[in-house]
Amino acid sequence: MATPLYLECNICGHQQPYIPFVPAICQKCESQWVEAHYDYEAFKREILRGIPNRPSDLWRFQDVLPLKDPSALELYPAGGTPLWLSHRFAPDLGHESVYIKDERYGPTSSFKDRQAAVAVAAMNENGIREAVIASTGNAAVAYAAACARAGIKLWVFMTSLVPQEKLREAALFGAEVIRVSGNYDQTKQIASQFAQRKNLLLDRGASSIPARESMKTIAYEIVEQLGWRAPDWYIQAVSGGLGPLGVYQGFKEMYNMGLINKIPKLAIIQAEGCAPMVHAFKAGKDVATPVIPDTRIIILSTGDPGKAYTYLWNLTQKYGGVMESVTDLEAYEAMKALATSEGMAVEPATAVAFAGFQKLSKQGVIGKGELVAINCTGHTFPVEKHVLGDQWAVDVHLSKDQSPAPREGLQAALENLDEKTTTVLLVDDNSDDALLIRRLLEGRKNYRMYHAKDGWEGLSVARQKLPDLIVSDLTMPGIDGFGLVEELKLDPRTRHIPVVVVSAKDITEEERSRLNGHIEALYQKGSLPTRKFVDKVIGVIEDKMDEKGKE
């Protein structure tokens, strides 16, 4: 029997009974920060015995989940996901102990599968046959799949900004999908009014005990997979904040049981275009001011986090932590970097967490020797276009009927292929400058562009891709532009690649002599109009391509 013994308010300490699907609000002070308490002594004894005869999924920890008799239910499988040590992504930043909690292994490839599994099991146990949920995507799909298995009718309300693939996926599982022309906060309001009018259960996210409790199984799994050690940091991208709120309940329970000796510091990462938590955190406020979302990463577009922010703020103040934001572009670049370094395709919402890790690492907030766990969830299928652009492959047209191409047709195709694959590598830690140059270059010709955010990454990309031209800044973290040029010229694979250097700093005569003979051109940022600069860069490319043609 795992039903909570009682609920306790974290604000005033009031204790009250647990009633399924009644909003978890303190009856005394009306706080929503109410936690479930179980028979932890009995559960600790099971853990010390090795939790024998338990499944490897989240139901392994059913003793601290709000169900009366989980063994009597045909439970939806979720959790039990792997924890991978990063072999290239994090070591490239100097970190050797970064672990990736890979939630893509859930039934619908999202950590929301845990939430759906426990919430829908609780619905089943309490005889609920129809429910309503508002979602930015992943929760809707996870609930739709779990409800399909349980035979529960589900009404899904999603903003029309959600990628159509996710809307169709929820519909595929039999959910009634309602597409709302508005933002997520408006969508939640409409879903709530609909549920009230039809007298249906509305899943309430962070204020729902089953939904919130499900997430703590992530903490239990991480600690068990690390040999009953707690990480120094736990990092997660957030929208409304349900995930880390639940995860930290797990860390706290294990700490109170004496199973771990510390509670990790918390890093909350948001998309810059929808970062009310980050704004409040940096202003030292415990209440977040709502914002109007302005991000392409729709899954993270909760403009009003409400009380969830205050509870997360309290966690960072008590256990240590930080809140940071990253741009959409930084997220997409991290998404591609993770794919090319670890072979892991993740969705932009997860990439936000990894971009945040990169940022916090470079800021020195996360130490090189600290043990880090990052929540990784979702798949890429709706969004590859934002990462790869339209030129992710080169088309070679030989013949319409698939018959062998004539010699002249093959020659023309190869010439066309050679022309299309002119590649340029931009090495600049200022993403805005790099993006501007990239767009102007692409406006002139169909170049294939790569962007590296520092010299070490630039050197790695140059050796892998062997671009036709490298445009590099001089002042960057790690190895600077001078060091990059020298390393390129020492490597026989890259020494013939022309390099154009741009810099915002004044160049001394000594620095000019250091670059002399190694670069194609040197330009001062702001010394000539950007378009004129781009014309000069294109001229360098064309000259080099002409030289290639004469060889």
Distance CA 346, CA 101 (A): 12
> Which pLDDT does position 71 carry in this prediction?
65
Of residues 77, 134, 131, 130, the one with CA closest to residue 108? 77
**251 φ, ψ (degrees, to nearest 5):** -60, -40
Q: What does the pLDDT look like over 204-246, one tens digit per residue?
A: 876 789 998 999 999 999 999 999 999 999 999 998 888 899 9
Of residues 250, 337, 341, 334, the one with CA closest to residue 297? 334
On the question of pLDDT at 403 being above 50, the answer is no
Q: What is the mean pLDDT of residues 502-528?
A: 74
Distance CA 346, CA 311 (A): 28
For the chain, the C-alpha Rg in angstroms (whole number) is 27
pLDDT band at 116 (very low <50, low <70, confident <90, very high): very high
Q: What is the overall mean pLDDT for the chain?
A: 84
Query: Is the sign of the CA dihedral 184, 186, 191, 196 positive or negative?
Result: positive
Residue 280 CA from chain centroid, whole number? 21
If DSSP states are collapsed to H, E and C, what string results for 387-406? HHCCCCCCCCCCCCCCCCCC
**132 φ, ψ (degrees, to nearest 5):** -130, 140
> Which pLDDT does position 405 carry in this prediction?
43
What is the pTM for the complete model shown? 0.71
Distance CA 122, CA 133 (A): 15
DSSP string covering 61-125: GGGGSS-S-GGGS-PPP-----EEEPSSTTGGGT-S-EEEEEGGGSTTSSTHHHHHHHHHHHHHH
> Which pLDDT does position 37 carry in this prediction?
95
Residues contacting 451, CB < 8 A, separation 6+: 333, 425, 426, 427, 428, 431, 434, 435, 438
On the question of pLDDT at 115 being above 70, the answer is yes
On the question of pLDDT at 158 being above 90, the answer is no
Q: Is 106 in contact with 227 (CB distance < 8 Å)?
A: no
How far apart, in Å, are the Cα atoms of 368 and each of 94, 100, 427, 476, 477?
6, 16, 24, 19, 15
The least confident of 27-31, 384-388, 514-518 is 384-388
User: Can you point out the beta strands (E) in 172-320?
Assistant: 176-180, 201-202, 233-237, 265-271
Between these two residues, 410 and 157, which has the higher pLDDT value? 157
On the question of pLDDT at 17 being above 80, the answer is yes
Measured CA angle at 317 (ends 312, 318), to 5 deg: 95
**Chain position carrying tokens 């009953």:** 228
Enumerate long-range contacts of 357-362, CB under 8 Å, 24 or more apart.
Answer: 357/90, 357/98, 357/235, 357/267, 357/269, 358/93, 358/330, 358/334, 359/324, 359/326, 359/330, 360/235, 360/267, 360/322, 360/324, 361/93, 361/94, 361/95, 362/93, 362/477
Of residues 81, 79, 169, 72, the one with CA closest to residue 121? 72
pLDDT band at 393 (very low <50, low <70, confident <90, very high): very low
Q: What does the pLDDT look like over 293-350, one tens digit per residue?
A: 888 887 888 889 988 899 999 999 999 999 999 999 999 999 989 999 999 989 888 9
> Which pLDDT does position 22 carry in this prediction?
84
**Chain position carrying tokens 């009230």:** 196
Q: What does the pLDDT look like over 128-147, one tens digit per residue?
A: 999 999 987 788 999 999 99
> Which pLDDT does position 302 carry in this prediction?
86
Between these two residues, 61 and 447, which has the higher pLDDT value? 61
pLDDT band at 547 (very low <50, low <70, confident <90, very high): low
Structural domains in the chain, sorted by start: 83-92+95-105+215-386 (3.40.50.1100), 422-550 (3.40.50.2300)
pLDDT band at 407 (very low <50, low <70, confident <90, very high): very low
The least confident of 100-114, 219-233, 351-365 is 100-114
> Which pLDDT does position 383 carry in this prediction?
47
Q: What does the pLDDT look like over 459-508, one tens digit per residue?
A: 888 887 788 888 888 888 778 888 888 888 888 888 888 888 877 777 77
Q: Is 26 in contact with 34 (CB distance < 8 Å)?
A: yes
> Which pLDDT does position 98 carry in this prediction?
97
Is 232 in a helix, a strand, or coil?
coil
- Residue 468's CB: how many other CB atoms inside 10 A? 19
Q: How many helices (H) and strands (E) does the chain have?
A: 18, 18
Return the percentage of the chain with pLDDT > 90, whole number: 45
* Strand pairing report for 98-102 and 83-85: antiparallel
Q: What is the mean pLDDT of residues 411-435?
A: 66
What one-character DSSP code corresponds to residue 544?
Answer: H
Residues contacting 510, CB < 8 A, separation 6+: none
> Which pLDDT does position 378 carry in this prediction?
77
Residues contacting 223, CB < 8 A, separation 6+: 229, 230, 250, 251, 254, 259, 260
> Which pLDDT does position 385 carry in this prediction?
46
Distance CA 177, CA 163 (A): 13
Q: What is the mean pLDDT of residues 45-71?
A: 89
Is 271 in a helix, a strand, or coil?
strand
Most confident segment among 96-110, 177-191, 438-452: 96-110
Query: Is the sign of the CA dihedral 189, 190, 193, 198 positive or negative?
Result: negative
Q: For the sheet with 469-473, list strands across it.
A: 448-452, 423-427, 469-473, 499-503, 521-524
> Which pLDDT does position 283 carry in this prediction?
97
On the question of pLDDT at 551 being above 80, the answer is no
The least confident of 290-304, 352-366, 398-412 is 398-412
Q: Is 489 in contact with 462 (CB distance < 8 Å)?
A: no
Of residues 366, 390, 419, the one with CA closest to residue 546? 419
